[in-house]
Structure 1
Amino acid sequence: MTRLQDLRLWTRIAFFALFVLAPPLDLFRLDLKLGHFILFGQHWTLGLDAFLRGEAGIGHAFLNLLLRGFLPIALIIGTGVWVSWKYGRLYCGWLCPHFSVVETINALMRRAFGRPTLWERHALPEYLPDGRHLSPNPLYWIAVGLAIVGFAFLWALSLLTYLWPPFEVYANLWHGELTRFQFIFLTAATIVFVIEFLLARHLFCRFGCAIGLFQSLAWMANKRAMVVGFERERVDACVDCDAACDNACPMRLKPRSTKRHMFTCTQCARCLQACDQVQKDNPQGPLLKWVQGKGALDVSARDFGKKGE
């Protein structure tokens, strides 16, 4: 399970880098100056210029709309629906640059005052599932503050480069010559992200993210989709674990619950890792595991996934 988390770490790092570098590399952005998208270095328009000039017929215009507009959107949405329907919010847990910020700041806050969010009622246990001791240190609030402000500014700057020529933005920022629009955008977006990263990181993921909600709805529609299952008949083995799986969840969910109570699960497998570490000396193994197909039916209803494939 540690290898799985290492893999997830590298996929999130790679996708975060892609998120930041896509505009300057002209991989994908919407250039408001030009009024159209840039995709893999090419100008991506709907191809209607010839029709608007009267040089092409309605058939040519319709074909361009189909090939350049409808089909790419349908392909992206269709792929997203299929992945979410079968596996849940994999994008959130394995790629999403916002969720990477959530987990990073959660970890720093836990180091600072023993709680992953400001809204946690009680401090989490100082001993981690792998046996390490984590004692809160107020000095980590400096790291929390730097991370929140740094991520907020980086997000604001990255979003601006998705809308405005990136090297113009970078050059203006470097020389202190931001335009009025650029300055207002960076300032307002940074302030909004600072507030969100400080107060509502996982709450935004759970209740405010349209992409996340879209994935959750698709996932909930499939009772056989991959989900975390709990071997309820072995519940006695949980007595001494101090809710390690609950404490590990970045979304602050209770992984031993039924599927409807894990509506916003990101399939990050942090709970699985915690259970695996706590039960490492148990010959029967961990109580939590991913189940799908027939094994997921009970989790999707009211029971706890006791059936196998």
Structure 2
Amino acid sequence: MSAAGPRKIIPIVQTAAPGGRAGLNRVQKGRLAAQAGFFALFILAPVFDLLRYDLDAGHAWLLGMPWRLGLDDFLAGRIGALEAGANVLLRLFVPIFTGAAVFLWVAWKWGRLYCGWLCPHFSVVETINKLMLRASGKPSVWEKKPLPPWEADGTPRRRDARWWLLVVPAAVFFAFAWAVVFLTYLLPPGEVYGNLLHGTLTRNQGLFIGAFTAVLSLEFLFARHLFCRFACAVGLFQSLAWVSNRDAMVVGFKRERASQCATCLPNRESACDAVCPMRLNPRNIKRHMFTCTQCGQCLQACEQSQHDNPQGPLLAWVSDEAARQNEAGFRAGRGQ
């Protein structure tokens, strides 16, 4: 005991996962359904003029209707500068800032939910990760060593080099699909898909699709989660909002049972480390989990590895005061 008196250890408050194992399975099924639905929306939005900018027409489309700023009337002299400025403010800046505010508020409260639950790029990240894991035992070419040869539930993890025959074609296919879809956000989708179907792409269309496919193929093969962690501005702003809120939802960890994390898989390895698509340590302090996408796969892995443990899993989503105490537990642990 120091002269300052006994050191106060702040306990970690955890909230149980709703419904236990079945609840976590439902969460993952719901997340996959949300990803699939948003991926379909990403592809179909330009087709139905839900959201795109038409370079040929010189204006945007929103929910099936033309979205103009009203500057044509100003250039034609039909309205004055004040009305033109009001049009730009109401039709451009107000919608953008309102949408951004809602988006950041969600991130401030719950973290990078868009990334883990909706983002089409993250869907590709997870898909290629799983294929590469089956082929090499590693979810990324940059992983230093193969992941443990066991699934979280204790079953052997199978590895077969023949899966490489799917890894590269899958990356190229996704890259090509993205290139075509992105082009439909700029040109009439009927024209793009018609030219592609009949092999009559214009020179510029062909160059765009070819260059975009090449760049994205390399990104999907070599820098998927690295882009999400270090280069995506959308993810960065979500992370900044999330970290600034001490009450935000975070993966909580029962530190007093930390020794069980080293034994949930053979050879003293942890199931939650192996499943994170962003290659994070889910048991770490919040600022070291800066790029966590709240996908919940670590929670499911922990539940599966501890399913015979009467104390239950060590990881759970926590928020508000429980999130504060979770972080306080890390500080107390370092001070012991």
Residue aligning to 2:20: none
Q: C-alpha deviations, 1:56-96, integer Å up to 9, x for none?
A: 23342233222211110011110111001111100000000
TM-score (norm 1): 0.96
Alignment partner of 1:2 out of 25, 33, 45: 25
Q: C-alpha deviations, 1:19-72, integer Å up to 9, x for none?
A: 011111111111111121111111101112222211123342233222211110
Report whether the alignment pairs 1:255 with 2:278: no
The worse-fitting range, judged by mean Cα deviation, of 233-242 and 264-273 is 233-242
Residue aligning to 1:187: 210
Q: Which runs of 4+ in 1 moved over 4 A?
A: 298-302
Q: Secondary structure, in 3 states, of the residue corresponding to 2:153?
A: coil
Q: C-alpha deviations, 1:188-244, integer Å up to 9, x for none?
A: 000000100000000000001010001011111111111111100111222312211
CA distance in 2, matches of 1:101, 1:305: 39
Please give the root-mean-square deviation of Cα atoms over the aligned residues, in Å.
Answer: 1.5
CA distance in 2, matches of 1:90, 1:297: 20
Counterparts of 1:74-153 in structure 2, within 5 Å, are 74-153=97-176
Letter paired with 2:282: P
Give the conservation status (yes or no) of the 8 Å contact 1:27–1:39.
yes
* Structure 1 residues 198 and 301: alpha-carbon distance in aligned structure 2, compared to 1, 3 A threshold: farther
The worse-fitting range, judged by mean Cα deviation, of 279-288 and 246-255 is 279-288
CA distance in 1, matches of 2:332, 2:169: 42
CA distance in 1, matches of 2:262, 2:51: 50
Letter paired with 1:245: C
Report whether the alignment pairs 1:209 with 2:236: no
Alignment partner of 2:182 out of 156, 159, 168: 159
CA distance in 1, matches of 2:178, 2:218: 13
The worse-fitting range, judged by mean Cα deviation, of 238-247 and 212-221 is 238-247
Letter paired with 1:29: R
Counterparts of 1:150-299 in structure 2, within 5 Å, are 150-241=173-264, 242-299=269-326
CA distance in 2, matches of 1:68, 1:115: 48
C-alpha displacement of 1:305: 10
CA distance in 1, matches of 2:189, 2:154: 46
Q: Secondary structure, in 3 states, of the residue corresponding to 1:5?
A: helix
Q: Provide structure 2 residue ranges, at least 5 long, that are not aligned to the other structure.
A: 1-23
Residue aligning to 1:25: 48
CA distance in 2, matches of 1:159, 1:301: 45
Give the conservation status (yes or no) of the 8 Å contact 1:115–1:123.
yes
CA distance in 2, matches of 1:305, 1:225: 20
Residue aligning to 1:44: 67
Q: Secondary structure, in 3 states, of the residue corresponding to 2:60?
A: strand
CA distance in 1, matches of 2:325, 2:193: 53
Relative contact order, higher structure (CA 8 A, sep 6+): 2
Give the conservation status (yes or no) of the 8 Å contact 1:224–1:293.
yes
TM-score (norm 2): 0.88
Q: Tell me the percent identity.
A: 57
**Structure of greater Rg:** 2
Letter paired with 1:284: Q
CA distance in 2, matches of 1:302, 1:270: 23
Q: C-alpha deviations, 1:281-300, integer Å up to 9, x for none?
A: 11211100111111112445
Give the conservation status (yes or no) of the 8 Å contact 1:224–1:300.
no
Q: Secondary structure, in 3 states, of the residue corresponding to 1:38?
A: strand
CA distance in 2, matches of 1:223, 1:149: 41
C-alpha displacement of 1:178: 0.8
CA distance in 1, matches of 2:281, 2:165: 30
CA distance in 1, matches of 2:97, 2:293: 24
* Structure 1 residues 153 and 301: alpha-carbon distance in aligned structure 2, compared to 1, 3 A threshold: farther
Q: Provide structure 1 residue ranges, at least 5 long, that are not aligned to the other structure.
A: none
Letter paired with 1:289: A
C-alpha displacement of 1:301: 6.0
Q: Secondary structure, in 3 states, of the residue corresponding to 2:263?
A: coil
Letter paired with 2:180: L
Q: Secondary structure, in 3 states, of the residue corresponding to 1:139?
A: helix
